[in-house]
Chain A
Amino acid sequence: MQLVIDSNEYIFALGVVRYPNCEKLLAKVAESMEVIPIRITRLIIEEVRSNLTAEAFKEFILFINTATIIDNDFDIPFELGARYEARGLKSADALIAAYVEWTGADVLVTENRHFLSRQANLPFKILTAGQCIKFLNK
């Protein structure tokens, strides 16, 4: 099962203000990266960067490099993003939804209510960190 972890999960797991479920999810992903592969796009990386110190961000990149490769935003087909925008997502959120579909990931993990309220007819699940931990433990 492949995951895309949204920037807010990284921020809430590693930033100054932390949430236990987000921390647990990242710890689980680190421990199980062979069986729970993650994908990440540059926009998520950049959003995390704006919430970490320079030194912490360097460590974050080293962490990501042990787990996955970083995809470029402009590789994501424009039409996919436009389709999600037409469904009412903001353009940057639409890009992330398109990215999840494009990578064929099974789950987008996010705490963003705008995503969580748009679950219907999607080719992937949208789960919070807490829901994702339960799902992975099944």
Chain B
Amino acid sequence: MIKQNIKKAKMHLEKIRQLMAKASSPYRGMSKQQVINRKTREKLWREKLAASYR
């Protein structure tokens, strides 16, 4: 059972935005679909599957 806390959730979101405002993006200038098409998910999933068969 989780204890939901709206105030804390909003605080964490704000903190993430502050932290990421200082970071540089590897995909600045790319469209939404170009970012999605980087196939990060496919790569992560293949790695997980491979690890599960070891």
A contact residues vs B (CB 8 Å cutoff) = 7-8, 11-12, 14-17, 19, 26-27, 30-31, 33-34, 43, 46-47, 50-53, 55-56, 59-60, 62-63, 65-69, 73-74, 90-93, 95-96, 111-113
Contacts and interface: CB of A to CB of B under 8 A. Distances in A.
3 closest residue pairs by CB, A with B: A16-B25, A92-B45, A63-B12
Interface of B: 2-6, 8-10, 12-13, 15-17, 19-21, 23-25, 27-28, 30, 32-33, 35-36, 40-42, 44-46, 48, 52
B13 A27 contact: yes
27 contacts: A8-B35, A14-B17, A16-B20, A16-B23, A17-B28, A17-B35, A27-B13, A30-B9, A33-B4, A33-B6, A34-B4, A47-B41, A50-B44, A52-B20, A56-B20, A56-B23, A59-B12, A59-B16, A59-B19, A63-B12, A66-B9, A91-B42, A93-B41, A93-B42, A95-B45, A96-B41, A113-B33
- Interface SS, B side: helix
A63 B13 contact: yes
B32 A8 contact: yes
Contacts of B42: 90-93
Contacts of B16: 14, 52, 56, 59-60, 63
Given A91-B42, A111-B33, 14 more contacts: A7-B41, A8-B32, A11-B35, A14-B13, A15-B20, A16-B21, A16-B23, A30-B6, A43-B41, A43-B44, A62-B8, A66-B4, A74-B52, A91-B46
Contacts of B19: 53, 55-56, 59
A77 to B, nearest CB: 15
